[in-house]
Amino acid sequence: MTRRTLVLAVIVPGLAVAGVVAQQPPTQRPRIPPTGAIKKVRDNLYVIPGAGGNTTVFVTQNGVVLVDTKLPNNGEPILNQVRTVTDKPVTTIINTHSHPDHIGSNDYFPASVEKVTQENTRKWMAANTRVASNPAVMPTRTFTDRMTLGSGNDRIDLYYFGAGHTDGDAFIVFPALRAMCAGDIFAWKMAPLIDPAAGGSVLALPVSLEKAAKGIPNVDTVIEGHGDVNTWQGFLDYIAFSRALNDAARAGRGKKTADEIAAELKPRFPAFTKEQLLTDMEYGGTPLSRAVINVNIAFQELAKQ
Ligand SMILES: [Zn+2]
């Protein structure tokens, strides 16, 4: 991979997706699917795919909780999908992290809707003048390591275990349903985009993920930040891959190329090192190419230690 490609790949997560699309030649232009049809995950928990990150819909006794709101201008399509399953008002929005494809349509919803993020996510949103100049996007409530919203069957537990995709990646757990939203620290069943400009770190990633695996009880369904719904076992397999990539980068630094290291991970982790482009993957790149990028980022992080 050329240095230019690497730099572009690394900065992608911090940019507005529209800007990224404009930089790419037509043949490589990723297709961003529109807001899709709402799908039931379990009981009163649903997911709406498309137009950026997954939007999770949790219908409680008093109203609807949304986790993430896609790219800007998708509020109406999101609400239209919610209206096919409930007439209750949206009362709460939780954002898993600060990227524009997860917070973009916060401002469509009334100012009375509570908006909750991890504290570092609020910091990155406040540092982005385009976001901060629109108070309707900004969180109204934050947490540091742990917070609980609601009670009984409506209970939601929020957790933060350290940096990965950014340094504000929240895990949102619905204990009554044994389900969890992982945001982009686990998306598209591949090594994550790492956004160093928002505190993301390849070296911190497996540490944070292993803390999540230990600290979050009784989950069997995991909603990824983008793409399909996965299982807890799928999440554990992904953590093992993240740990192996990290260990291989540390051991191979100065001796092997990132391509060689990623290729060596293929036999043990075929699911996370596919060489085919996934469908509906907005940002381009195969799982294997993402693994190569993350080994290179690990090299850069190790060089700074
Ligand atoms: Zn993201």
CB 117 within 8 A of CB 98: yes
Distance 192 CA to ligand 1 centre (A): 9
φ, ψ of residue 256 to 5 degrees: the values are -130, 160
Give per-residue pLDDT as tens, 254-287.
999 999 999 999 999 999 999 988 776 667 789 9
Give per-residue pLDDT as tens, 186-244.
999 999 999 999 999 999 999 999 999 999 999 999 999 999 899 999 999 999 999 99
Distance 198 CA to ligand 1 centre (A): 10
Q: Express as a percent the part of the chain with pLDDT over 70.
A: 89
Distance 231 CA to ligand 1 centre (A): 20
Give the model's pLDDT for residue 285.
Answer: 85
Give per-residue pLDDT as tens, 115-169.
999 999 999 999 999 999 999 999 999 999 999 999 999 999 999 999 999 999 9
Distance 295 CA to ligand 1 centre (A): 19
Provide mean pLDDT across the span 54-75. 97
Residue 174: pLDDT band by 50, 70, 90 thresholds?
Answer: very high
Whether the predicted pLDDT of 18 surpasses 80: no
- Cα separation of 178 and 132, whole Å? 34
Distance 225 CA to ligand 1 centre (A): 8
Distance 211 CA to ligand 1 centre (A): 20
Give the model's pLDDT for residue 30.
Answer: 62
φ, ψ of residue 295 to 5 degrees: the values are -65, -40
- Cα separation of 102 and 194, whole Å? 15
Whether the predicted pLDDT of 13 surpasses 60: no
Residue 25: pLDDT band by 50, 70, 90 thresholds?
Answer: very low
Q: Which residues surround ligand 1, an ion (CB under 5 A)?
A: 99, 184
Distance 66 CA to ligand 1 centre (A): 17
Distance 184 CA to ligand 1 centre (A): 5
